[in-house]
Structure 1
Amino acid sequence: MILVLAGTSDARELALRIKAAGYDLLTTVVTESAAKSMEEAGLPVQVGRLTAEDIRRLIEAKGVQAVVDASHPYAEEASKNAMAGASEAGVPYIRYERESLASPGHDKITVVEDYVQAAEVAAQKRGVIMLTTGSKTLKIFTDRLLGLPDTTLVARMLPRVDNMQKCEELGIEQKNIVAMQGPFSKELNKALYSHYGVTLMITKESGRAGAFDEKVEAALEMGIETIVIARPQIEYGTAFSDFDGVIGQLRELAAPAVG
């Protein structure tokens, strides 16, 4: 049995590859929508956030031979819990992370270390700011940007009830919420930037599968300044940015299921 921390489209494809290689597996995701995607692909799934202790117990209960962490590049807590849980249970940990795309060198791009720095830089620049970093860190930006003169914050996020409730609680007006499921094409990004009159876009360096290229290229072609939040710097140990590397490592660690 292989435990796969999933939730992204490339994580789902990796899980399918692991299954095709002959391994029994269990995927874990955080949201019901991600679970539905796994179920539709014929993958067993468990829903809910997991602590390190949760992961250790799951490993022991299911007889897990290895943990494959294919969580989002910015799911820092999930990765740390997976590493700790695997270590406590004494099983190998393998990290899969979509290949990083170096931010194109351009005078319109500012690369920052974290969300707080992104919000502080945005507060200096002001204007119509489109935030494409999700709801989890939304408060960091609303605390620093809402109420500033000559500043409008447009939040783009998944169309979920809890996200809309969070926007309301933090003071983002409905007219400034873009509730859509990505990934977005470059053309759609341009249309949204144009519709809202965006002068500054904030994004994470989420990789090609996260449509990073399309967001940034659209902004640059329209002369829109962009703040890119760099990925967390974590020492994963055994890590791969390709599916074959993960499968090859698994073959060294665990035999496929019989039958």
Structure 2
Amino acid sequence: MKVLVLGGTGEARALADALVEDGAVVVTSLAGRVSRPRLPVGQVRIGGFGGVDGLAAYLAESGADAVVDATHPFAQRISANAAVACPAAGVPLVRLERPGWAVRPEARTWHWAGDHGEAAGMAARLGERPFLTVGRQSLAHFVEPLRRHACLVRVVDEPDIALPASWTLLRSRGPYTVGSEREVMAGADVLVTKDSGGDHTVAKLVIAAERGMPVVVVRRAGPPAGVRIVGDVEAALAWIRALPARWHGRCWHGRCWHGRCWHGRCWHGRC
């Protein structure tokens, strides 16, 4: 079986690990927006597909049997393209999306924004020293509203735009601990982030709650309509294993799954 994983997240890497261990051929696609990405096991391709048509053509040419969209919750364009390209190519698609932070008890006290522009306006009113953890590609929305503020901006790679002289740039990659975040956030008076979810960067929310700091959070746009959603790697694996038989009349790479045929039988009734 060949699985295309639209990756760039910890969940995508964990899924690739599990699929390769099970004997699948895994190709993980990365957008190429991070200079030194953490690479998963299996095959890796870097760069875009060329829109919906390009992705559909790739699926047809590569012989992919399934696609798992495990991109970041805010990588909306590739998710939207996959939702159109996969049905067009006749390839099953599932969205692996980690739960957001809205379930946290303190979330009811946060200032929720519909987009980055609204978040910038909220931050300008709530503090003088915002801590921005919104990703370098979103910083343009914050420059004018916060030009006179003393912002601390944390990103993985150097931004593509010029930042105001009053801003401080911190290049860093998570995961982060409560101790390290306490030190970094010592001078901040408002936290601005997006509802990325997960554990790798949650420590900043712990410190904000500890200090009673205002928190501005950009809401997720939500997945494309009609796409099945799973919340963890185990559920994604279960979805893949339950797919109808379509793997060329043989057991997975010449052997049965976990020492037996999938669901007690071989594909198309034979190995």
TM-score class, shorter-chain normalisation, is: 0.7 to 0.9
* 2:207 is aligned with 1:218: yes
Q: Which has the higher helix share?
A: 1
Structure with more contact order per residue of length (Cα contacts < 8 Å, sep ≥ 6): 1
Q: Are 2:35 and 1:45 aligned? A: no
Kindly tell me: are residues 236 and 226 of structure 1, through their superposed partners in 2, closer, same or farther at Cα, counting changes over 3 Å? farther
Question: Quick one: distance in 1 between partners of 2:59 and 2:122?
Answer: 43
CA contact (8 A) 1:3 1:68 kept: yes
Q: Which residue of 1 is the match for residue 11 of structure 2?
A: 10
* Matched-pair contact (CA < 8 Å) for 2:68–2:93: yes
Match of 1:155 in 2: 153
Look up the equivalent residue of 2:180 and give its one-letter code: L
Which structure 1 residue ranges, 5 or more long, are not aligned? Answer: none
Structure 2 residue runs of 5 or longer lacking an equivalent are: 255-271
How many aligned residue pairs are there? 245
* Equivalent residue runs for 1:1-259 within 5 Å: 1-31=2-32, 37-38=38-39, 41-50=40-49, 51-101=51-101, 102-105=103-106, 109-147=110-148, 151-158=149-156, 160=157, 163-164=158-159, 166=160, 169-173=161-165, 176-194=168-186, 197-212=187-202, 214-234=203-223, 235=225, 237-253=227-243, 255=247, 257-259=252-254
Measured in 1, the distance between the counterparts of 2:163 and 2:100 equals 34
Quote how far apart the aligned CAs of 1:34 are: 7.8
Letter in 1 for 2:85: G
Task: Quickly say closer, same or farther: Cα 1:251–1:61, change in 2 above 3 A.
Answer: same
Identity across matched positions, percent: 25
**What is the letter of the counterpart of residue 185 of structure 1?**
T
Q: Is the 8 A contact 2:25 2:42 kept in 1?
A: no
Q: Distance in 2 between matches of 1:34 and 1:98?
A: 24
Contact 2:147/2:166, CA 8 A, preserved across alignment: no
Amino acid paired to 1:230: R
Cα distance in 1 for residues equivalent to 2:19 and 2:226: 20
Q: Aligned partner of 2:204: which letter?
A: K
Q: What is the deviation of 1:36? A: 5.3
Residue pair 1:9, 1:209 contacting (<8 A) in 2 also: no
Counterpart secondary structure, 1:152: coil
Letter in 2 for 1:47: I
Q: CA deviation at 1:116?
A: 1.6
Cα distance in 2 for residues equivalent to 1:180 and 1:141: 19
Instruction: State the superposition RMSD in angstroms.
Output: 2.2
SS of corresponding position for 2:145 = helix
TM-score where L is the length of structure 2: 0.83
TM-score by length of 1: 0.86
1:182–1:172 CA distance, 2 compared to 1 (3 A): farther
